[in-house]
Amino acid sequence: ISGVRSDIGIKIYGEGIERMKSVADEVARAIGEVPGISEAKAEQTIGLPTIRVRLRRDAIARLGINAEDVLDVVETIGGRQVGTVIDGQRRFALQVRFAPEVRAELDRLRHLRVAGPAREG
C-alpha cells in the first residue's frame, strides 16, 4: 500500500482527522492483540509534506538519462527499499533515504544528481 512502511497496512478513510485517528488507534489496539503480531501502530499520513515531481522527458532523454533512474532517486527522498533483512522467521525491509537536512530543503532536492551514461574522453 502506498505510504505504508510495513508488511501489512490498513488505511482508514473518512471525514474528520480526529475521528479517523480515533478509529485507527482502536484498530491498532485490536490488531495488537492478535497472536504473532509483533507491533501494531497507527500512523497519520494526511497532512505530511509532499512534493510533486514532473519529469521533463525530453530533457532527460537529451542527457541520455533513463526516467526510471530519475524516479529511483526521487523515491530515495522518502525511503527506497533496497533489500530484505531476515532474522529467523522475521523479515525487515532494508531502506535507504537521504539525510533529514537534504529532505528538509527543497533547494537541495532540486539539485540532486542522477547518474548518466559513462562518457569517454
Domain ranges for the chain, please list them.
Answer: 1-48, 49-121
Cα angle 45-2-109, degrees, rounded to a multiple of 5: 75
pLDDT of residue 117: 79
* CATH code of the domain occupying 49-121: 3.30.2090
The pLDDT mean for the chain works out to 84
| pTM attached to this predicted model | 0.56
> How crowded is residue 36: how many other Cβ atoms within 10 Å of its Cβ?
5
pLDDT of residue 1: 46
Of 92, 89, 98, 3, the residue nearest 44 (C-alpha): 3
Contacts of 18 (CB under 8 A, 6+ apart): none
Q: What is the pLDDT of residues 77-119, one digit of tens each?
A: 888 889 999 999 888 889 899 998 988 888 998 888 898 876 6
Q: What is the pLDDT of residues 26-42, one digit of tens each?
A: 999 999 899 888 888 88
Contacts of 75 (CB under 8 A, 6+ apart): none
